[in-house]
Amino acid sequence: MRINIAIDGPSGAGKSTISDILAKRLDYVHLDTGAMYRAVAYLGLKKGLKMDEEDRVVDIIQNEMDLVLNPDGTIICNGEDITHKIRTNEISMAASDVSKLKNVRKALVAMQQKIASKKGYIVDGRDICEVVLPDAEVKVFLTASAEDRAKRRLLQNQEKGIAGDYETILADILKRDYQDSHRENSPLHKTDDATAIDSSNLSIEEVVDIIMKLVNEKI
Ligand code: DC
């Protein structure tokens, strides 16, 4: 039996890494919904929009965005490979700004629900347990302390050759945490039916094992 797995949590908690490993293990597909908000921000900025021009941004999503999320993790927007271009600090903040807009969320949530309706998806984001997949068979809220997340992000950036210092990354994480959990539309929070996992003192493998146990109870 194929199920859906919903994973919510703040940025840098390890959602993407964990989801990728689970996808390989289960032969499922990882749907990175944050990448969708990032792609919208990227395209909006490229077209000279401000991130509060809600109607124009929605128009772009519906009429001017051909987004392909490949199973190998590459992201193609209107024929352009934006896999790495959407990971900059500028796009992170713009994605957080654009994700506040009600109708932008509505448009992207509809796309996400359509994709995951086939089952066999690991969907990670902020509103997956409550809004996108309220019927997901496994629901996880993955957290880690802001300091641990900043340390991990710094290491990841260094590996990718992206410049940046710990203090700036931590400040950016705290700012986005605040913005993502205090916005009016679908703020980040743990739902009662989600299993909370704090990954601060756990290895990636330990987190994967906990989620695999939850999955095995369902399938
Ligand atoms: O997970 P991420 O850092 O790539 O997400 C980028 C931004 O998009 C983040 O600030 C929160 C927002 N987001 C959201 O509001 N809902 C989602 N399901 C996924 C991401």
Q: What is the per-residue pLDDT across 172-214, written as a single tens digit (0 to 9) for each?
A: 999 999 999 999 999 999 999 999 999 999 999 999 999 999 9
Provide, rounded to the nearest whole percent, the portion of the chain with pLDDT above 70: 100
Query: What is the model's pLDDT at position 133?
Result: 98
Q: Is residue 27 part of a domain?
A: yes
Query: CA-CA distance, 44 to 54, in Å (whole number)?
Result: 10
Residue 162 in this model has a pLDDT that exceeds 90: no
Distance 132 CA to ligand 1 centre (A): 13
pLDDT of 58 above 90 = yes
What pLDDT does residue 99 have? 96
pLDDT of residue 89: 83
Task: Give 164 or 186, the one with higher predicted confidence.
Answer: 186
State pTM to two decimals. Answer: 0.95
Encode pLDDT of 14-49 as tens digits.
999 999 999 999 999 999 999 999 999 999 999 999
| C-beta 149 within 6 A of ligand 1 | no
Whether 217 is in a domain gets the answer: no
Structure tokens at 29: 């597909």
DSSP state of 198: E
Return all residues near 92 (Cβ < 8 A) that are at least 6 apart: 11, 38, 172, 176
Among residues 71, 188, 181, the alpha carbon closest in space to that of 129 is found at 188
For ligand 1, atom 11: residue with the closest CA = 96
Residue 219 within any structural domain of the chain: no
Are 157 and 164 spatial neighbours (Cβ–Cβ below 8 Å)?
yes
Q: Using CA positions, which residue lies closest to atom 10 of ligand 1? A: 96
Residue 33 Cβ inside 6 Å of ligand 1? The answer reads yes
* pLDDT score for 166: 96
In a domain, 152, yes or no: yes
Q: Separation of 203 CA from ligand 1 center, angstroms?
A: 23
Give one DSSP letter per residue of 30-84, joined into a string.
EEEHHHHHHHHHHHHHHTT--TT-HHHHHHIIIII--EEE-TTS-EEETTEE-TT
Domain count for the chain: 1
Would the pLDDT of 156 be above 90? Answer: no
- Residue 157, pLDDT > 90, answer no
CATH number of domain containing 123: 3.40.50.300
What's the residue count for the chain? 219
Residue 14 Cβ inside 6 Å of ligand 1? The answer reads: no
In a domain, 218, yes or no: no
Per-residue pLDDT, 60: 96
pLDDT of residue 15: 95
**Does 115 reside within a domain?**
yes
User: Taking 90 as the threshold, does the pLDDT of residue 88 lie above it?
Assistant: no
Residue 136: is its pLDDT beyond 90? yes
CA of 35 to the centre of ligand 1 (A): 7
Which amino acid residue places its CA nearest to atom 4 of ligand 1? 34
pLDDT of 114 > 90? The answer is yes
Burial class (CB in 10 A: 0-12, 13-18, 19+), 92: buried
Atom from ligand 1 closest to the CA of residue 16: 1
Domain range enclosing 208? 5-212
- Which atom of ligand 1 lies at the shortest distance from residue 128's CA? 18
| Straight-line distance from the first to the last Cα atom of the chain, in angstroms, rounded to the nearest whole number | 6
